[in-house]
Structure 1
Amino acid sequence: MKLNFTNNNLLIALYFIMFAVHFLLWQCLGIGFETTLIRYYFFLTILFMMVLTIVSIFKKIYPEYLGFVFLGLVMFKLAMVFIIRKKLNITEIPNYKFHFILPYLFSLFLETVFTVNMIRSADKKDPEKDEKNQ
């Protein structure tokens, strides 16, 4: 079965499914610190939606610079995660690296797929670009 990642709603649904699975696993393991997990996911969701929105806006304004915009947003997101890590006291949770890095990487994967789809659709709509390259 091949998943079609061109639908943006599917990417957002996969993100929230990841949260639900992670939260259920968290409850089954009885780790505690549920408020920290929920606050982290709330923050990660804001960053995830911010990246999707800004990439969509820049696709309409400057489609040729979409890759650079994405790279800048990834750097901004990483900096924000390092800043918020201190405020959430994530290091108090046992095996915190596995619990907080994997959701970050999965959201980064979904953002990358979204951006690649945007770049491909921008290239298909711009036939002048093909003529310039030849």
Structure 2
Amino acid sequence: MKQSTSWLYIVLFILVFFLHFAIWQLYVNDFQVIFIRYYLFLTILFMMVITIMSIVKKIYPEYIGFTFMGLMLFKLSIMFLVMNKLQLSEVPYHKYHFIPPYLVSLLLETLFAIGLLKEQKNN
């Protein structure tokens, strides 16, 4: 996959962050520190997944799908472990505020993995 395609997914993720932050400020206008810590952590996980999948594609292209599944399991496990540290439960209706960004990052990572698999199949 071209380098510019990787940047496209990163830019889309950042745009989703700003859109969600604007909506958050408009309707909730509280808990900004928790929100920013959550997105910072989610961004680190997102960048880790994109980077590791790009590296695996170059070294072991036949294991892209397996790597994707392992990284998704790792990401979900880390989110459950760190959820208390991020104090997400302090926010009212926190499930409705914090699950959509996680699902958007999951969607972007899935689309990135599909692109890598299609490219590998074409080669």
Equivalent residue for 1:32?
A: 30
Matched letter for residue 9 of structure 1: W
SS of the residue corresponding to residue 30 of structure 2 reads coil
Equivalent residue for 1:13?
A: 11
The structure, 1 or 2, with the larger RCO (C-alpha pairs under 8 Å, 6+ apart) is 2
Aligned residues: CA RMSD: 1.1
Equivalent pairs counted in the alignment come to: 120
Unaligned 5+ residue runs, structure 2? none
Q: Is the CA contact 2:6–2:50 (under 8 Å) kept in the aligned structure 1? A: no
- Written as runs of structure 1 = structure 2, the 5 A alignment for 1:1-134 is 7-125=5-123
| TM-score of the pair, normalised by structure 2 | 0.94
The percent identity for this pair of structures is 49
Equivalent residue for 1:129?
A: none
Which whole-Å CA distance do the structure 1 matches of 2:57 and 2:28 have between them? 43
Cα distance, 1:88 vs structure 2: 1.2
Unaligned 5+ residue runs, structure 1? 1-5, 126-134
Cα distance, 1:8 vs structure 2: 2.2
Max radius of gyration: which structure? 1
**Superposition misfits of 4+ residues, deviation over 6 angstroms:** none
SS of the residue corresponding to residue 86 of structure 1 reads coil
Matched letter for residue 100 of structure 1: F
